[in-house]
């Protein structure tokens, strides 16, 4: 059946000393994905919210979300789990049980802190903005003081992180070796970007700037 956690090809242990290869795999997943899912415990129950984020070295910056309003009170830190998933393929096997998905996922555990220092908060907003819409920081109108006060930024270290990758073809069972009547293989899944649609107030002769086209090309 379809589960996302068979075949962990690459798992980081919860130790601070780990191979550069694993660390790079973590960075690659975090840098390629567009959004994360932020998990936290509110009143004893789990809450999972889709959230914008960005990475700077071994720190993730998260954009404070309305739905997690309680986060603002958590200036001292709050246990979170940030999960990022890239779905790469649908895996059809000869047995239903070996049906699966190709994917890369990163799971980060830690205590997120609300960024209070103004300079770091602005830096965090920069990192989050450039992750999703690279080039916008220099192109668009800067954040004014009122806007700056209205947003929250969380910081989370990447000390406790793991990566799981499933890639390649379907698993096989000896009992299915002669079943040449069953198709098996992978349907690749990709995230693609369409042609930019200008807002109706943008002058009709204005070209789409290079940074927007670059974002599409990734």
Q: Return the number of the residue (18 or 218) whose C-beta is nearest a copy of itself.
A: 218
Q: Return the number of the residue (20 or 207) whose C-beta is nearest a copy of itself.
A: 207
**Which listed residue (30, 74, 93, 156) binds a copy of itself by CB under 8 A?**
93
Six token digits for residue 94:
């000869």
Cβ burial, residue 214 (10 Å; 0-12/13-18/19+): exposed
User: For the chain, how far is it from start to end, CA to CA, in angstroms?
Assistant: 32
Q: How far is the CB of 143 from a copy of itself (least distance, A)?
A: 5
Is 95 an interacting residue with respect to a copy of itself (CB under 8 A)? yes
Is 216 an interacting residue with respect to a copy of itself (CB under 8 A)? yes
Is 118 an interacting residue with respect to a copy of itself (CB under 8 A)? no
Candidates 13-21, 22-30, 58-66; binding stretch for a copy of itself (CB under 8 A): 58-66
**Which listed residue (39, 58, 120, 123) binds a copy of itself by CB under 8 A?**
39
**Residue that is written with structure tokens 């819409």 in the block:** 133
User: How many Å apart are CA 20 and CA 99, to the nearest integer?
Assistant: 32
Please, which of residues 152-181 interact with a copy of itself by CB under 8 A?
169-170, 172, 175-177, 179-180
Do the Cβ atoms of 153 and 116 come closer than 8 Å?
no
Q: How many residues bind a copy of itself (CB under 8 A)?
A: 100
For β-strands 45-56 and 100-114, DSSP reports them as unpaired
Q: Return the number of the residue (23 or 126) whose C-beta is nearest a copy of itself.
A: 126
**Which listed residue (75, 97, 117, 159) binds a copy of itself by CB under 8 A?**
97
Q: Return the number of the residue (20 or 81) whose C-beta is nearest a copy of itself.
A: 81
CA distances from 93 to 50, 103, 170, 175, 179 (A): 31, 16, 5, 13, 11
CA distances from 96 to 84, 108, 165, 185 (A): 26, 31, 21, 13
**Which listed residue (40, 71, 156, 161) binds a copy of itself by CB under 8 A?**
40
**Which listed residue (24, 48, 75, 159) binds a copy of itself by CB under 8 A?**
48
Do the Cβ atoms of 106 and 29 come closer than 8 Å?
yes
Q: How far is the CB of 63 from a copy of itself (least distance, A)?
A: 5
Q: How far is the CB of 24 from a copy of itself (least distance, A)?
A: 21
Which candidate, 217, 198, 210, 4, places its Cα nearest to that of 107? 4
């Amino acid at each position: 059946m379809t589960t996302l956690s068979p075949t962990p090809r690459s798992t980081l242990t919860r130790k601070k000393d780990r191979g550069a290869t694993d660390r790079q795999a973590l960075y690659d997943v975090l840098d390629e994905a567009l959004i994360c899912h932020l998990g936290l415990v509110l009143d004893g129950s789990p809450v999972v919210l889709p959230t914008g984020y960005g990475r700077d070295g071994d720190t993730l910056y998260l954009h404070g979300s309305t739905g997690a309003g309680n986060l603002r009170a958590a200036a001292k830190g709050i246990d979170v789990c940030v999960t990022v998933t890239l779905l790469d393929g649908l895996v059809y096997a000869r047995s239903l049980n070996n049906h699966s998905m190709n994917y890369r996922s990163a799971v980060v555990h830690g205590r997120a802190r609300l960024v209070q220092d103004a300079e770091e908060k602005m830096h965090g907003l920069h990192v989050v903005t450039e992750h999703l819409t690279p080039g916008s920081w220099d192109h668009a109108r800067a954040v004014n003081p009122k806007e700056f006060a209205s947003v929250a930024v969380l910081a989370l270290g990447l000390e406790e992180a793991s990566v799981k990758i499933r890639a390649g073809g379907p698993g096989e069972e000896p009992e299915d070796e002669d079943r040449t009547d069953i198709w098996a293989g992978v349907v690749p899944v990709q995230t693609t970007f369409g042609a930019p649609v200008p807002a109706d107030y943008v002058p009709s002769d204005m070209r789409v700037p290079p940074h927007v086209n670059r974002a599409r090309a990734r």
